[in-house]
Structure 1
Amino acid sequence: MIDPLYVASGFSVGLLVGMTGVGGGSLMTPLLILLFGVHPATAVGTDLLYASATKAGGGFVHGLAGSIHWPAVLRLACGSIPASILTLLVLWQLNLDAATARNLVNSVLCFALLLTAFSLIFRKAVLEKLRWRMERHDASTIARATVLTGAALGVLVSISSVGAGAVGVTALLLLYPKLPMSRIVGSDIAHAVPLTLIAGIGHWVMGAIDWQLMGVLLIGSLPGIVIGSYCASRVHETALRLLLACTLILVAGKLASEEWHWSPASVAAVTQSAPR
């Protein structure tokens, strides 16, 4: 039985992703945790594979259009893929109990959401202040900085599923200021595909994937992304980004408050529903 609420949620997230370009993880993962009560580890793992499926289509379109800067993608991947694998191995070795895993995911997710909101609100100011400094660095320095940026994104995405959208785009704008925006977005999407796929497979191996949920979300999100992309040029981008940033801040606050009100009964419930 397909739950129409899940389909509607997938469609809403897909619509916003299509209009803003912000990664679905910053929207879908908190939604699954707060609205549907999905265990955070399962929400992250499911969202990662969901994101890899949705971004693969976007990456294919950008590839056909020639709007991907492959050197930047390869440099990001050189940092993010090893960092993601290492992060997942550490989590597997630690074998955290349900309550500890929940606290870790929620804490990193709160940080990632606030970082994404910061990127949305202050991107222009940050670029104006720092871009001229980045332009003074030589190509080898930019290449090393790109690899390190990829490593940071790999850790962040593997734990929270957030970071490959607004944060990745902002980083690429700083590192490659001469690239047009279309190639920045295309490169960010192309890099997110293997990163979310590998991180998602890692969570699958650890048993943190709900395949039925992912399929239902895709039913709604795929048409939502198409419609959102079509409407993107018809919506006031600045107002939409500010609204989205405020929403992410409120969600981060809600997740943080959940940590303080986590009852023993809730811990027991999560322990029973946690992936094994």
Structure 2
Amino acid sequence: MPQRPNDLRPWESPEALFGSELRHYREAAGLSLDKLADQIPFAKSTISAAERGESRCDRSLAVESDRALDSRDALTRLWDGLFKKSGAVPTWFTNWFKHEPKTTHIRSFQPLIIDGLLQTPEYASALLGGDEGAAETRITRQDILTRTDPAPPSLLCVIDESVLYREIGSPAIMSAQLEHLLAISSKRVKVQIVPSVNHEGLSGAFVIGNLKDGGEIAYREGALRGDTTADRDDIRSLNDQFASIQALAYPLNQSAQLIRKVATERWI
């Protein structure tokens, strides 16, 4: 009896999602790994690794598989959507990525890094290991803050003080990033710094978004991946948590003074 293939977990990463679809179309065509390898210029081991989500395959594997499996370019279109320019967001971030532009108000707490909506391109690139496509996608998200129709959402970002001192990339990148926080601050974009004390945000970053229909949605960072939720109890808990953290934060003017102090004394 042939060994049953390992279960796939398509929600874990873009690679895993693509791999699960590749296996789906291969099995629907009634082909084994060996048989598919006979029809396309890729080894069985390469196809198997792609199906298990262990590596990001070349686009040509998707193209050749579509041809062999008669899948009507489904795999090629999926590959382009997930990996083109290396700018795709992780699958577990997709739900928040879709809802973020629909928000009218955003409240964010960040204990480790600057919020993605406030990052400079250089800071984002350093965080993302030089993946310029992924950094470009992150920076493009910031367009919601300067759009005219619909009106841009308001943003209140509370950042742990330790983030100001955590070197990302280089001192020059940090200096420019902190200057950017000062430059972008306005009536609509507010930044507050919370002292690095024992507050309720030590469990991780989270963002709460208000929607036009009055609903709320939230995104929470985890150790391995994030999670988007609209559960009322979760939202209520995160609202209480944010209020508790913000109560400890410096006022806006003192926060700006601290950012300026760190930028000029630590990173220049």
TM-score (norm 1): 0.22
**Which protein is richer in helix relative to its size?**
1
Say which structure, 1 or 2, has more relative contact order (CA 8 Å, 6+ apart). Answer: 1
Higher-Rg member (1/2) = 2
TM-score (norm 2): 0.22
**Which protein is richer in strand relative to its size?**
2
